[in-house]
């Protein structure tokens, strides 16, 4: 039969052996799936090992947990880097004129500004606010 299907005998018997070993991962897979469902797939394999120890007192090898997570698609969701932090280049930086002295003695003496990025379904929005440091009045949006 092996020659008919073009597989070696050792490969066939290795496959039969692996078929019976799949049952040992089922218990661990269920616990890892519970952890990932509870924490919205944010835990990596190292934190899953710690979670298993704290919740169930189960000591699991981190390599075995990583293997089971890879095998059953239970790996954590990787976070993407924010592209807007990379927009700051050397020519866009300005000197620190205030030197952390945020007290003003008169109106319109010291203003400060900040830019916030707001992610929406339509795209990225930028919010820029100018504030007077004398009375914290918002001068301009």
d(CA 63, CA 46) in angstroms, rounded, equals 9
Q: Same domain, yes or no, for 66 and 91?
A: no
Q: The domain containing residue 64 runs over which residues?
A: 2-71
The answer to whether 134 touches 104, Cβ cutoff 8 Å, is: yes
**Is residue 76 included in any domain, yes or no?**
no
**Is residue 110 included in any domain, yes or no?**
yes
- Any residues with CB less than 8 A from the CB of 62 and at least 6 apart, and which? 45, 46, 49
Give the chain's length.
Answer: 141
Choose between 87 and 83: higher pLDDT. 83
Q: Same domain, yes or no, for 9 and 34?
A: yes
**Is residue 17 included in any domain, yes or no?**
yes
Q: Same domain, yes or no, for 67 and 89?
A: no
Kindly indicate the confidence band of residue 34, based on its pLDDT and cuts at 50, 70 and 90: very high
**Is residue 78 included in any domain, yes or no?**
no
What's the number of domains the chain is made of? Answer: 2
Cα dist. 113→55, 81, 129 in Å? 47, 24, 6
Q: Same domain, yes or no, for 20 and 58?
A: yes
Choose between 23 and 45: higher pLDDT. 45
The tens digit of pLDDT for each residue in 43-68 reads 999 999 999 999 999 999 999 999 99
Kindly indicate the confidence band of residue 84, based on its pLDDT and cuts at 50, 70 and 90: low
Of 23-27, 58-62, 92-96, 103-107, the one with minimum mean pLDDT is 92-96
Overall average pLDDT of the 125-140 stretch: 90
What average pLDDT does the structure give for the chain?
87
**Is residue 18 included in any domain, yes or no?**
yes
* pLDDT at 97 (0 to 100): 85
Q: Same domain, yes or no, for 67 and 24?
A: yes
Share of residues in the chain with pLDDT > 90 (%): 48
CA atoms within 13 A on the CB side of 105: 0
């Amino acid at each position: 039969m092996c020659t008919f299907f073009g597989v070696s005998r050792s490969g066939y018997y290795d496959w039969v052996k692996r078929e019976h070993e799949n049952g040992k991962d089922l218990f661990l897979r269920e616990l890892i799936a519970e952890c990932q469902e509870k924490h919205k797939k944010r835990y990596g394999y190292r934190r899953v090992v710690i979670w298993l120890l704290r919740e169930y007192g189960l000591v699991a090898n981190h390599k075995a947990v990583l293997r089971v997570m890879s095998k059953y698609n239970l790996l954590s969701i990787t976070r993407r880097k924010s592209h807007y932090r990379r927009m700051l280049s050397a020519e866009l930086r300005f000197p620190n004129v205030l030197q952390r002295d945020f007290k003003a003695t008169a109106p319109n003496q010291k203003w400060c500004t900040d830019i916030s990025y707001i992610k929406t379904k339509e795209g990225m929005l930028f919010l820029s606010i100018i504030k007077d440091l004398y009375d914290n009045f918002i001068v301009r949006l």
